[in-house]
Amino acid sequence: MISSEKEIAIFQESDDQRYKIEAGSYISFDFSDASIPTGGKIASIILYIEHFEDSYFPVRRLQWEIGTGWPEDEEVWSSINAPVREEQGSEATDSWDITSVVDTSEKVDSLQLQIKNNCNMAGKSTFVDNIYAIVHWY
């Protein structure tokens, strides 16, 4: 899990400072400042992840999971095979609508994202620049 201020800063802006996730590795993120007031209802919650992968990165080997309890007591609420954006020139910000899964204020308060590079070929990395969530509530 990323914990130092220097590492966290990498993901807070789209500034071409990227974090490299090598083959067979993963990283987890807490959304500690995403909270809903007591009694608030979630209208929508969408995750945004700016990334690209090494050339010839295999499809279905980049996985995004949402849940809670990483790294010791993980509970996965949902998982998708993320889109692959080959090479820096294809870098993009992809969105994932998680409204149907993160449907309570308790889940918003404990929300974590895990990005897994499930590639088994050495030298095939994913590079992440910016991660954020937009939460609408009423």
| Torsion, CA 86, CA 122, CA 10, CA 35, rounded to 10 | 90
Starting from the edge strand earliest in sequence, which strands make up the sheet with 26-30, in order? 26-30, 112-117, 62-68, 75-81
Mean pLDDT, rounded, for 30-51: 87
Mean pLDDT, rounded, for 69-91: 95
- The per-residue pLDDT for 136 is 93
- Asked whether residue 76 carries a pLDDT value surpassing 60, the answer given is yes
Structure tokens at 68: 């809670």
For strands 126-137 and 92-97, give the pairing: unpaired
Domain count, the chain: 1
Q: What is the CATH number of the domain that holds 20?
A: 2.60.120.680
- Asked whether residue 4 carries a pLDDT value surpassing 70, the answer given is no
Is the separation of the CB atoms in 43 and 137 below 8 Å? yes
- Asked whether residue 35 carries a pLDDT value surpassing 90, the answer given is no
pTM attached to this predicted model: 0.89
Domain containing residue 22: 5-137
